[in-house]
Structures are given as structure tokens and as C-alpha cells.
A and B are shown apart, each in its own frame.
Chain A
């Protein structure tokens, strides 16, 4: 477990949006994709995924449709809406700014002050 990180509060939405941006997914698929692209580094309590998904749908960032999954079971598929796509861009930008800022803070050496 040592190489796994709890995700920061508030970043779950960003992760979900990113995961779904790569192609429509059902709930479990979102979990798998996040695990896959983070190479298992990010740990999400699985149940927490669903309230987040429902909230994103309700806020119009995701669209949900019922379809049939790879093993022929009824499943709900999520995809980005236009608003979701825009939101994802914004979130990525502000994340980059945050990371850059935090990174520069953390990489400061004593003689630079």
C-alpha cells in the first residue's frame, strides 16, 4: 500500500471528468481507468465514486445513458457534455497552476530566499 496515495479532497471530480473524457465509460470502468492511467497509484473508495457521478450528471457535466456492457449486462454509461469538456479544461489549467505553485514552493532552496 505504500506506493498508493489518498486522492486530495475535491480532485475526484477532476479525475472522473478526465477518465470519461477518454471515452464513454460505466461506473466500474471509470474506477478501472483511473487505476489504469495512474498505474494503481491513486486509491479511491469505490462506493464514493457513485455519489460523485450522480452529482456531475445533475450539474450537467456528464451525460448518462443506459446501454449494454462488454459482457452483455445492462449498464449506465457516462460521457462528457460540452459543459463538462469546458469544465475539464478549466480544472486542468487551475490544477497545473496549483501544481506549479506548490512545486516551486517545495523546490525552493535556502539560498534562494
Chain B
């Protein structure tokens, strides 16, 4: 037989089943009629003839069934019958069905949406060739476990040809783009030309760098990001080959990258060839390369590469003991994806676990719902069994109903998931936002199907198992009235739901409390009414001259301070909470005077500021004085240190008047005197403890790598339009000066904790969802318990039990389950608390207040869910309850 004909039969059967059924019926009826006609012709009466025809025909229904089987449609027919029967059942209990479908939709929707994020972030390949073999390099030394690479280290790594197909470096810079339009500060990445073939990316337009384009003379070429090309240049295709002005110099546009290319940061706007001088390539001291990426040779494992790199770092340590920064430096690589997803990992896995809990709760909910239904249907099932339905048939029919619920729930769940992708986008690690997209692709849908199958089995098997235990005789003997039986499985589900929800609620509570702690934490400065903006000038040719740069700052500050409503304004090399991405900024090794010789060299953050900085950010002065205009180039060198630095180097002493110098004690650098001690500022992020830190006056900072570039302005109240005002003001001083990152300081603070806020709110939202689901589930089971006990309660009432007695009895049952659930949940919360300890801030994983509140909340919700059915139980009329027997 051909595949086609059977397919046609099945299709015909699926879509035209009544017709096939009708044709069988018609044909058999025609036979009976003709036979009867013939028999009548032989002298039978009509009635006799019809009877005889039927007898000769044999078992009519049996042959009809055999005909269906011959058509190959019996299983299908059963399935369709089950589906129809199921639909009828589900429609008849519309309320139950709606609750079940919505519950499942929430569970499967949340799970699918989170899986979509996890899949995109951790499983989907990055948009590079064989992205799994790409690694990023780090160096670790005492106090700096994941330091950025120094160019001197990169020089060694790229010679490891046995390990890596290629190694490329990236140095993030900031270039001024001028000509046609307002001056703009660009985040430009200076990269090794081999980066592009190494990653395996091709441009949208034009070409990537040639191998020799990093040599002086040919290195004024640039690749633009798709976003810059569209935004600034209107997507002009003739731009390739033309020149643009970067820092006032002509750069030829070699090409435009694709929309999904952003390396290493999502904010990278253009790429130029890196121009590391031989001198820089010997520098193992300054760790400023933002990214060094390599491609493992086929067959080289991560372990092997790391073992070889460890060997290399040991060799270097022996060869150059003096320059081996801060004790033993050790190189290592990790997968590029791991570097990108490091910060997001814990949070995403936590949320994935949370949605799995939601799914489990949803399944438990639906299972208990179906369980209570199955008890009500025992008579129906017993009858069907008595009429010859096999156990397999009954199971199949119950599973069909469950599967229909699951399909309905999943369909609705897809809608939920699709809707939630919009805000779940915020969960993608910042630097991957252009590289990966959240879509409900085939893999996610396949995951949904698996979820669907598993959940069907989870909640569908419970009523199925129960149905198999039915004692046919007992049930049929009793008729359709209820037997009183404790729904043990249902009680088990209640306990499980309470335990799972409590675990989630505790987790959500801990994250919320962490967020709240962080929120109310003193960052060391006052962010309200402060606006920050960035004017990157340092490397511009025209400001290489220190005096010209000072003059520019002075002119700008003078005018800003003259604006009405401005209380204070100052420049700093970096406002707090910026530069948190890659690691330390401006860390200098130093030697405090009179300190005992220490192993290695100490490193301290330094910031170069103008007078007025502490006033603008309201950083408190503890001792000594602020900088003033007298701290000029010819005055004695001075510094202000933060409390942590004072305490670290001069414990139990007054740091004022103490001296330190940059570099080792023998270095020919001048001594610097401390004139002030200020409060600690959480520079690197609100959740990072303050580091030893110093401030240097900008008039004395000639030659310091750190150059003031960020302007902070404190105003009286919020001044609308201040950003534009400042921009215009800067351009009136220097029309070619780009102004970027104009932002309220409070916004920066919010951004710093945005990911924590999102995580805390999502998890609390999920915990709330769990709570509601559990509440519905408990309510369902308890209602059922009351229905089961109607007869018993009726007798009790008849024997004189008061409504209070009855409520107490029902609540007692609920309380027992609640206590058990809360106990298990607390154990679960203790385990999960330890697992999420890394995501907490200022809160212990077993924070007694949070745990106690969560337990009380859950117990209250659970008892409330029991109270309504208990109240209903008191309304039972003993006479009616007893008569129904």
C-alpha cells in the first residue's frame, strides 16, 4: 500500500471523519436493505426479512469496528473520541479548566521566556566563527584576580603559536569626531588588524583592515559600527573610501561593520588599528588593554592553554623579578562567552531555577485540581470499566484530557512569553545586546514541547494512578454518592506547593532586602542635583600642551560657575561609578614614607581633580584642607587621601603631613605631602567596598596619565535644560570640543544597581506568582476536602458541633499541612540561600527577619486559603447532608 493512500485516508479521516463514518454506515445499511429485499422476494414478510438479514450479516458493530480497523483509523478514532469527550468534560467544568489553563500558562510561559534568555545568553553561539574556541586573556596577581592585560604580556601571548591560531589586542580610546555636524566623542577601539579574521567577521560594506595597516603611515584607517554609520552618516554607502576627522586627523573609512557586531563593548562605535610601539610592547606594568582575545588551535583544550600560560608566567617571574608587578603575576584564559556572561550568570541561573519552581507549583496545582475531579468522576470511570474499557483505554483518555490542558496552557504560555521578552531583554549582559537577540526560535519551541510533555506526565499521572486504584465493586454498589476518603495525594501537593513557594519568597525577600540596603547605602557622595558630563581632551594634539589644557578648564569652570543656579563645579578624571567595567582606573604603585618595606608595591587609585570637586559632590572633609588655587605647579606637591588609605598606611596616626612617593622607595620621584583626609566614596560600584584612594590637584598633575575630563556641576534644585546649556557653553569656549555622557548623577547611581533591581523585582514577582498559585492550589484542595467530608460534617452538626468546632477542624487539617510545608520550605530556603549568597549584599543568606516574615506570610496566605472552605463547611445543612445518602 502506498504511503499516499494511507495518508489520504488519515487526512480524510481527520478532517472528514463524519463522512468516512457515514460511508461505512451507508454501505452496510445498503447491504442489509438489499438482502432484506431479496428475502422479501423469497416470501418472507418485511419484518421477518429484515430480521433474517441482520442475522445473516453477523455482529454489526463488530464488523463496523473491523472496517474502521481495516481503514487504519481505529487508534485515531479513539484519540478523536477522547479529545471530543475531553473537550466536553473541560467545557462542562469551565471554571476548573480556566484555572488549570491559566496556571499552566503562567508556569510554561515563565519557563519558556526564561529559557529563551538563558538559551540566547549561554547556548546560542556568539556571532563569530566557531565562537566556542575564542578565549579572553587575563592576568592575576595579589589583590587583582582578574586584571586587564598589559601590552608587555600581550607581546608574549601572541608568540604562543602552538596554543593559539591568533591573538588580538584591544585598547579602548576616546576620539573626537569633527566635521559635518556637532563634534562628538566616539568610543573607538584600537585593535590588532588580525582581530577581524580571528573572530571570523565580515563587514557590511567595504573591507576590514589589511595585515599591514597598523604600521605608521598606513594606520589612519577606520571601521565604523553600523549604528554610527546609520546615525551620524545617514547610512551613506559612498562613505567607504572617504575621510573623516578623528582628533582633527584624517582617517580613511575602510568599511562599515554589520549590525550585530560590537566588540568588545556594545558601545564601541569605531575601530582603528592599534599602534603599540616597541616600548609599549615591553611594558608589563600598566594594565590597560581592555581585551586580549585569542583563538585556541584545534585540539588545544582550555586546560592545556592555561597550563602553558602558567608556565610562561613563572618563567617571566624568574627572568624579571623587579618588574613583575605586585608579586607573582599569573596569566590565564577563559572562554570569551564566560567573560561576557560572568556577571549575569548567577542571576540568570537563579531566575531559571525560580521559573522551574513556578512550573512545578503550577503542575502540582493542576494535578490536585484533576485529582479532585477524578474522585468526582469515579462512578463514571467505574461504569466505563464495567462496560469493558481496558485500563489502558481509561489511562489514555485521562492523559488525553491532561494533554489538552497542557496544550491550551502552553499556547497561552507562548503569548505570555512573547509579551515578556520585551522587558526580559534587560537581562542580557550589556555588552551582548547587539550580538544576541531574544526570539522564540525553533529551539525554544522545542523546549516548550518538552516542558509540555513533562508537565503532562507530571500532573496527568496523578489522576491516572488514582483511577487505577478505584475498586469497581465498591463504587458501583454505592451509587453516585460520595465515599469519604482522605485525598492523600492532594495533601502532598499542598505541602509541596507551600514548601516551593516559601523557598521562592525567601529568595525574593533576600534579594529585595539586598537591593534596599544598597539603595539606602551611603555612596560617600550626594548625587541629587548633580549633573555630570564628559569632555575628553587629553590625547588631542592641541591639548598636549599642559598650560593650554589648564587654560581651557579654567575658562569653562569660570563660565559654568557664573551660570545662575550653579552652586559648585569641578573637573575630575572620572566621576564615581564610571570606569567600573574593566577594573581599576589610574592605579598607581606607591611607597608611603616611613612604612616598613613590604612585599611588592602598593597600588592605590588616583584621581586628578580641580578645586571645588568635594564641594560639588558633597564629599565630607574629615581633617586638613581641600585643594585651592595655591596648589599650583610651583608649590609643594600635595594630595588628599580617603579614609581607607589613611587607615591602611598610617593606622592610629594622623595622616596629615605624612608623605608618599610613586614607585618603589628608590625611584627618583618626588615626595608628596598629604594635606587632607576625606570620606570614602564607593567609586567602583555601590556594592564594592571602598579602596585606598588619593586625589591630586590638576595643576600639579602634569605628566600624570590621569587627566581631568569629567565635569560635575551641582545646582540649586534641578535646572531644566542644564545639559544643553552646558553643551553650548563648552562649544562657546571651544567649538571643536565634544561633549558626551551628559547625565544626572542620580541616574548613574540608579544604573549602577539596575541589574540588581531587575533581578530583585523579577524574583519577587515570581515569588508573588508562586504565592498566588499556591493559594489557589490550597484553596482547591481544601474545598475538595470539605466536599468529601460533607456527610461527616453533617453528622457532627447534627450531634451538636458548633460552627466554631467545624471551622477549627478544617483549619486544623490545613494548619497541619501548612506547618509541614513551611518546615520543608525553610530547609529548602536554607539551601537556596547559600546558593544565592553571591547575589546578596549586606544580608545574610539566613537573615532571620526575612525568613521569619516569609514564613509568616506563607502561613497566613495558606490559612486564609483554608478559611474560606472552612467557613463554607459551617453552612452545611445537616438534614440535607444526611438525606443525600
Question: Is B2 part of the contact surface with A, judged by Cβ < 8 Å?
Answer: yes
Question: Is B66 part of the contact surface with A, judged by Cβ < 8 Å?
Answer: yes
Q: State which of B21-29, B734-742, B846-854 sits at the interface with chain A.
A: B21-29
Contact status B62-A54, CB under 8 Å: no
Q: State which of B69-77, B501-509, B623-631, B798-806 sits at the interface with chain A.
A: B69-77
Complex CA distance for A105 and B69, rounded to whole angstroms: 39
Chain A nearest CB from B712 CB (Å) reads: 85
Question: Is B279 part of the contact surface with A, judged by Cβ < 8 Å?
Answer: no
Query: Between A and B, how many residue pairs show CB distances below 8 Å?
Result: 68
Contact status A54-B70, CB under 8 Å: yes
Contact status B57-A46, CB under 8 Å: yes
Q: Could you tell me which A residues sit within 8 Å of B by CB distance? A: 26-28, 31, 45-52, 54-55, 58-60, 69, 71, 73-76
Contact status A27-B31, CB under 8 Å: yes
Contacts of B57 in A (CB 8 A): 45-47
Contacts of B1 in A (CB 8 A): 58-60
> Contact partner of B31 among A28, A51, A52, CB < 8 A?
A28
Contacts of A26 in B (CB 8 A): 30
Question: Is B58 part of the contact surface with A, judged by Cβ < 8 Å?
Answer: yes
Contact status A46-B27, CB under 8 Å: no
> Contact partner of A76 among B2, B27, B71, B72, CB < 8 A?
B27
Given contacts A58-B6, A76-B23, contact A46 B66 (CB under 8 A): no
> Contact partner of A27 among B27, B56, B62, B71, CB < 8 A?
B27
- Known A-B contacts: A54-B67, A76-B30. Give 9 more (CB < 8 A): A47-B57, A47-B59, A50-B24, A51-B70, A54-B70, A58-B71, A60-B2, A60-B5, A75-B30
Contact status B5-A58, CB under 8 Å: yes
Contact status B63-A47, CB under 8 Å: yes
Contact status B67-A51, CB under 8 Å: yes
Question: Is B808 part of the contact surface with A, judged by Cβ < 8 Å?
Answer: no
Contact status A45-B58, CB under 8 Å: yes
Contact status A28-B30, CB under 8 Å: yes
A66: nearest residue on chain B (CB-CB)? B23
Contacts of A47 in B (CB 8 A): 28, 57-60, 62-63
Complex CA distance for A45 and B27, rounded to whole angstroms: 16
Question: Is B51 part of the contact surface with A, judged by Cβ < 8 Å?
Answer: no
Q: List 19 A-B contacts (CB under 8 A).
A: A31-B31, A45-B56, A46-B31, A46-B56, A46-B57, A47-B28, A47-B63, A50-B67, A51-B67, A55-B70, A58-B1, A58-B6, A59-B1, A60-B1, A74-B26, A75-B27, A75-B30, A76-B23, A76-B30
Complex CA distance for A45 and B58, rounded to whole angstroms: 7
Contact status B72-A73, CB under 8 Å: no
Contact status A73-B63, CB under 8 Å: no
Chain B stretch 18-45: residues in CB contact (< 8 A) with chain A: 23-24, 26-28, 30-31, 33-35, 37
- Per DSSP, are chain B's interface residues mostly helix, strand or loop, or mixed? helix
Contacts of B9 in A (CB 8 A): 58
Chain A nearest CB from B28 CB (Å) reads: 6
Contacts of B5 in A (CB 8 A): 58, 60
Chain A nearest CB from B71 CB (Å) reads: 6
Q: Most chain-B Cβ atoms within 10 A of its Cβ — which of A45, A47, A58, A75?
A: A47
Chain A nearest CB from B442 CB (Å) reads: 35
Given contacts A28-B35, A47-B57, A51-B66, contact A58 B30 (CB under 8 A): no
Complex CA distance for A73 and B57, rounded to whole angstroms: 20
Complex CA distance for A48 and B58, rounded to whole angstroms: 8
Chain B nearest CB from A25 CB (Å) reads: 12
Complex CA distance for A58 and B73, rounded to whole angstroms: 11
Contacts of B26 in A (CB 8 A): 74, 76
Contact status A50-B28, CB under 8 Å: yes
Q: Most chain-A Cβ atoms within 10 A of its Cβ — which of B23, B27, B66, B71?
A: B27
Contacts of B30 in A (CB 8 A): 26-28, 69, 73-76
Contacts of B67 in A (CB 8 A): 50-51, 54
Contacts of A55 in B (CB 8 A): 70
Contacts of B34 in A (CB 8 A): 28, 69
Chain A nearest CB from B77 CB (Å) reads: 14
> Contact partner of A50 among B6, B27, B72, CB < 8 A?
B27
Contacts of A46 in B (CB 8 A): 31, 35, 56-58
Complex CA distance for A76 and B28, rounded to whole angstroms: 10
Chain B nearest CB from A31 CB (Å) reads: 8
Complex CA distance for A48 and B26, rounded to whole angstroms: 16
Contacts of A31 in B (CB 8 A): 31
Complex CA distance for A74 and B23, rounded to whole angstroms: 11
Contact status A58-B70, CB under 8 Å: yes
Contact status B2-A50, CB under 8 Å: no
Contact status B23-A50, CB under 8 Å: no
Chain B stretch 505-552: residues in CB contact (< 8 A) with chain A: none
Contacts of A60 in B (CB 8 A): 1-2, 5
Complex CA distance for A31 and B35, rounded to whole angstroms: 10
Contacts of B28 in A (CB 8 A): 47, 50
